Structure 1
Amino acid sequence: MATSFPYLLDSILALSALHLATVEPDNRLTWLDAAVRYQSQACSGMGKILPDVTRQHYEPAFVSSVLIFLFATGLPGISPETNQSNDPLSEVLEGRRLITGSAMLFERFSEMGVDAELNGWLCAPDTEENLEKNEQNSDGSSDDDAKILFDLHKSIIKSLEKLRVTIETNESPQKEIYQTIWQLLHNSIEPWPKIGPQGGVIAWPLFISEEYISLLEGGDWVARILFLHHAVALRLMCKRWYVRDKGRRLVLATLEQLDEIPPEWKETISWVQKGIGTDPVLIL
């Protein structure tokens, strides 16, 4: 497919070069330069066909958009100097924008039925995270014991249940928004180490509402706490080279923007700090 659609080939080369930047540190800058160049070409090519996308482009554009999303996810952790913004929300919203395009294209070629070349490639509901022991985790840590990740997962689910009770007793006009976002978050995390039917925690931003985003931008504390649970849950994917320490970075950037933590959230914020590895028990 990539030999027929140059923008797809460019997105494959971009992600490949970015991966090589992680495994060949001595050539990191060379690979990063190639990665950014190919990513730029892929985005330019996609930009030309998307305004009036035709049937022949549904599948290659879908695959390319997924690869572009993974590239955008991985680049800040591999090349921090390329990340121009320290706003954690803008980083997530950019990913949301990219993955929303993937979802639209997926719907388009799904309607093609048996004519779809990707038929059979996307039917893997039981896909699981790779938790095999390696010499070193992809986020640079040395402890690769899967038990730590399972313990973290249990801790996240437990914290989410406490948060659900808090939301249930909340009588603010935003209660329904909180409940909806909580359910989406729980659905994305609970199946782990299976990815689940909605793409797992990395795909959660695709499903959040504009109303919730407005609450986040306005500094609403329940919205913030939900977002921080998402960030901690990304630590469950730290063995993926393009995720690495993304969860830790999102948490730290979010906490840096906080002036004063309300008393009712101090215990939760303490749990969040432990969840990203500041506590030796949960360090990944």
Structure 2
Amino acid sequence: MRLFHQYLTSTCHTLSQDGLSAYHLSIVIPRMATSFPYLLDSILALSALHLATVEEENRITWLDAAVRYQSQACSGMGKILPDVTPEHYESAFVSSVLIFLFATGFPGISPDNQNNNPISEVLEGRRLIAGAAMLFERFNEMGVDAKLNGWLCLPDTEESLENNEQYSKTHLPIVLDMKLTVNRSIMESLDKLQATIEANETPQKELYQAIWQLLHNSIEPWPKIGPHGGVIAWPLFIPEPYISLLESGDWTARILFLHHVVALRLMCNRWYVRDRGRRLVLATLDPLGEIPDEWADIISWVKSSVEINTSIVT
């Protein structure tokens, strides 16, 4: 009851964007959760994780509860997904989204998290988002009488800094200006990177160009979410061949990835994101060793971007 109360009075409001989804998050989805235990578990898990950031003195207690409910939510989803029926499409979709948000926030909140591999962390998020996307397509294709109609953000919806525990009203304009500056900086760096990709004839050129375009589409509209879910949804669209290059240590693939994690800093006002971008940047840079001369300027820019954000956010 404590966790459900936390969701209704606080957590659900931190998830809405520009007020568009507030009704569904606070009314429709909690009502839906009373009929689908795995959705209720995912709500309780995210609420417990949120409380772990609010009540520092009880952080371990809330983290233990968060992990327990997340495990139950994943187990419940695992039982219905292999033969998912239309009645579960919407509830399973919402549960997938909440499970993904939990997976996004947990590494930066738990003091015991030992996963220092930024690529595997992002790819885990990709797996979870992909499940949500599949369910969304299912209930759209089947013409289900959707309770969630109107919940998902439209392309013109803007990322809001309101309802944020980190910033005072007087601080908001400063943070917004800083984020707009960072966004312009990312786009300038992407333009330079595009020129580099175009100038080099390699077997992977078309793949690099495709990934660059995906990055551009996810970052350029900010503070609008854009048609593809914005920065946080970028991993959903990356193809397997790019993942293979990334895991093999391909430098161009790494540089593209670094632009994504720097862009996550645009969402640092979200409690489940916070310093995720900075943390992933540092984890990516730490094991790189000697940096090729052609990438030295971009790596320097990445470090500078992290420092600019750190001065205000942390």
Q: TM-score scaled by structure 1?
A: 0.93
Residue 54 of structure 2 corresponds to residue 23 of structure 1 = yes
Distance 1:135 1:85 in 2: 27
Q: Secondary structure at the match of 1:234?
A: helix
Match of 1:174 in 2: 204
Matches within 5 A, 1:123-272: 123-132=153-162, 136-137=166-167, 145-272=175-302
Q: Which runs of 5+ in 2 are unaligned?
A: 1-31
- Contact 1:275 1:282 (C-alpha < 8 Å) held by counterparts: no
1:283 shift after superposition: 5.1
Q: TM-score scaled by structure 2?
A: 0.85
- Contact 2:166 2:269 (C-alpha < 8 Å) held by counterparts: no
**RMSD value, Cα:** 2.1
Change (3 A) 1:47 1:145: same
Q: Equivalent of 1:75, from 93, 103, 106?
A: 106
Q: Identity rate of aligned residues, in percent?
A: 76
Match of 1:90 in 2: 120
Matches within 5 A, 1:54-73: 54-73=85-104
1:85 shift after superposition: 2.0
- Contact 1:2 1:8 (C-alpha < 8 Å) held by counterparts: yes
Distance 1:258 1:31 in 2: 35
Distance 1:120 1:283 in 2: 34
Match of 1:273 in 2: 303
Distance 1:240 1:106 in 2: 23
Change (3 A) 1:104 1:228: same
Distance 2:250 2:130 in 1: 24
Distance 1:228 1:155 in 2: 13
1:249 shift after superposition: 0.9
- Contact 2:164 2:270 (C-alpha < 8 Å) held by counterparts: no
Provide the aligned length of Structure 1 versus Structure 2.
Answer: 280
Q: Which runs of 5+ in 1 are unaligned?
A: none
1:30 shift after superposition: 1.2
